[in-house]
Structure formats: C-alpha cells, structure tokens
Structure 1
Amino acid sequence: MHADIHLTLHTLRAAELRREAAASRGTTRPRRARTDLRTRLGWSLVELGLRLVNRPVARTRTHLA
C-alpha cells in the first residue's frame, strides 16, 4: 500500500473515532484544546528563540597589558 493511501485511510479513521468519542461525550464538536495549546506553545517557543537570537550582546572590556 502506498504511503499516501495509508495516510488518507488513517486520517479518515482518526476523524471517525473523534466523531464517535464526541458522540459518546454528548457533544457535537470534537475538543480542540490540546491542538490550540500545542499551537500556542509552539509559537511561544519560536518567539523565545527569536528573542534569544536577536538580543544585544553585552560588551566586555578586554585589558591588554
């Protein structure tokens, strides 16, 4: 089986399982809190990395004797 077909079948099955889980909880929408948390955490880490890369370097004096 090709990888793209396998991925498509997996995606369809995952969506089906999410719908079943939502139905058993009595809600119509699947929960997205985990995905939202991952996204916010990921962008926070990117922002932190950019701040670390772009921060000014403290100059130190070098004494040549």
Structure 2
Amino acid sequence: MHPDIHLALHHARATELRAEAGAQGPVRTRPIHRLRARLGWTLVEVGLRLATRPGTAAAAH
C-alpha cells in the first residue's frame, strides 16, 4: 500500500468522524472528566521527567 493512499484513508475517516460529531451537537464535558484528563496528563508529564532524568536507566538509552 502506498503511503499516500494510507494518508488519504485517514483523512476520509477523520472527515466522517467530524461530520458525526457535528451532527450530535456540542459535547459538554463534566468537571470530573476534565479533572481526570488533567490528572492523566500530569502523570504522563511526571513519568516523562522521571524517565529522562540523568542517571536513570531510561535516559542512558
């Protein structure tokens, strides 16, 4: 499969998903979902910082 075809398929699917999302109307995010997302990204950030600290096994690779 040619890379451009693969990209075209992704763009087509993204267009379909945007159309479906637009048809459903705006999504109201509950505060608990925002809190979970924020906590999740904070944990990712902490993990990345720990993994790239000098002297750690992950930073040596």
Which structure has the higher relative contact order (CA within 8 Å, separation 6+)? 1
Structure with max Cα Rg: 1
Query: So what's the TM-score if we normalise by structure 1?
Result: 0.40
Q: Which has the higher helix share?
A: 2
